[in-house]
Chain A
């Protein structure tokens, strides 16, 4: 047994950044209010005191500029981390992410690459309404050349960030703002992680629940409740949505014969549609005893009212209900 300690998701990200920056002089961070303010969600906190304003760089409110500066620095030998204060503001930076960072390596025939790491918090639940609460992962996963990571706990947040920093190509890490302050048990040393490797969070036999980000936690809580009702749910966290660890999901589906796909993002054209298609196209399809079911955010901007906000994305009770129906009705 390795020794463990308790830290928050935000602290784990901070420690991983500190670790990377002390080990590699090419790594630095740019973003809005990441310096003395400590980051809008306190992720950088006192890092600028430890590492200085050259490594922890406060920027103006210029997402496209910051992202482009990250691309340019990455092209020329640095390992920048760009923090976008809310993932919604990736919209401002879109040209540099999609048209530049993602494609440069290919377009120049491999002469150069863009080892850029982008960190941005997504998700709802803070009452910040429609322009500060989106889950846009599917947009980015649709772009060849980008990797998209969605860590659901502190260890993954740190380990996947370290893995992203070792990747020669751009990686977008979508953190979840509701997770930042949550505490987790983490090992003394962050384990090595691979981008593209999912994780079985909980083993089970009656159905498979594939979930991302905050929904991994909700699915785990739901699995606990389902167990009390005699239903054994296996919970899988793909961790990186691109590249996707489809074999892990298929093996589980073949074992349980039922699958519930849970994401906070809206259903239409969402990431879980891709997972559903992957299952449908595979031999695991033949092992299904029930139709594939998706449980996703409603097709609406995130409302301000706390009641409506909660109702627009899957909660624990919704997962329990859908999972129960899937097992009992089929």
Chain B
């Protein structure tokens, strides 16, 4: 049973989701006006996953993030001003303008960093979990990763180690149905990506990633288990990305029509190849 939040909790949840949405809409606007450069991966439509997942964390817990990391960063408690400053390549940004969108990190709040390498964060999360264990603290590392990273060796190696050592790591797979142009249904011939968890002997579960309370509930269970020293879990959150997308020729998918509850979804247009080339690479 998904627990109903109190009014105050509900407000806080909604506020976080809106902070992410509005932050990214501002990024999109600034990028469109040529004030930001490089690569900007937006997570508009996916806000419920980091918001719900980070609600299960306490001080000292860590996250590892991805190339699509603004939502993770904000949900973990980052300051919007310093985040935006980083994306604008300012010295007062989180990484002093050295990192940008793909490397934004806020180590003080336990955000070990976005990652430009698909799958790059998974073994790092295992290492953070190992460190928590060796240091004797009951902290947990939450590892956000995309469905695309499931194709990487790093994904399999990280799950292997985390499972063997019963590490306090929760792997949260944001399955937004595509890794760039590759549909996850085509890439992975299993019903659910979470089915793969069985191969590592760890619990695996698929949740509606657009339902912030369902995400919170599933991640909370996994985090509690990890804190008790019972080892890692794998949670697949089904979601969909509304904009900042470059997929072409995609079929409508079950989750395409839903927004996590923020009132004004503006579906991205399916971009053609010309747009893809124009944008240099997968913003």
Contact = CB atoms under 8 A, between A and B. Distances in A.
Nearest to B116: A131
B14 to A, nearest CB: 32
Contacts of B98: 129-130, 301, 303-305, 308
Contact of A37 (B89, B95, B180): B180
B152 interface: yes
B97 A127 contact: no
A129 B153 contact: no
Contact of A32 (B97, B100, B180): B180
B276 A42 contact: yes
User: Which of A89, A129, A130, A132: most chain B CB closer than 10 A?
Assistant: A129
A33 B100 contact: no
SS class, residues of chain A in contact with chain B: loop
Given A38-B276, A40-B281, A61-B149, A130 B182 contact: no
A92 B103 contact: no
A226 B53 CA distance: 60
A128 B181 contact: no
A62 interface: yes
Given A38-B276, A303-B98, A304-B100, A61 B119 contact: yes
Given A37-B180, A38-B276, A60-B182, A304 B153 contact: no
Contacts of A63: 152
B248 A304 contact: no
A35 interface: yes
Interface string A6-38: 000000000000000000000000001101111
Interface in B240-275: 246-249, 273
Interface string A27-59: 000001101111011100110000000000011
A126 interface: yes
B187 interface: yes
A306 interface: yes
Contact of A305 (B97, B115, B116): B97
Q: How large is the interface on A (under 10, 10 to 19, 20 to 34, 35 or more residues)?
A: 35 or more
B33 interface: no
Nearest to A177: B280
Given A36-B181, A36-B249, A60-B179, A127 B38 contact: yes
B277 interface: yes
A38 B248 CA distance: 10
Contact of A127 (B100, B120, B181): B100
A126 B23 CA distance: 23
Contact of B180 (A33, A62, A64, A308): A33
Contact of A128 (B39, B97, B120, B247): B39
Contacts of B100: 127, 129, 304-305
A62 B249 contact: no
A32 B118 CA distance: 12
B228 interface: no
B273 A38 contact: yes
Given A38-B273, A308-B98, A130 B103 contact: yes
B38 A304 contact: yes
Given A61-B152, A61-B182, A305 B89 contact: yes
A36 B276 CA distance: 11
A89 B60 CA distance: 32
B151 A65 contact: yes
B102 interface: yes
Interface of A: 32-33, 35-38, 40-42, 45-46, 58-65, 88-89, 92, 126-132, 177, 181, 301, 303-308
26 contacts: A32-B182, A35-B181, A36-B181, A36-B249, A37-B246, A41-B277, A41-B280, A41-B281, A42-B277, A46-B273, A58-B181, A60-B150, A61-B119, A61-B179, A65-B151, A92-B153, A126-B38, A129-B39, A129-B99, A130-B116, A131-B102, A131-B120, A304-B38, A304-B103, A305-B97, A305-B100
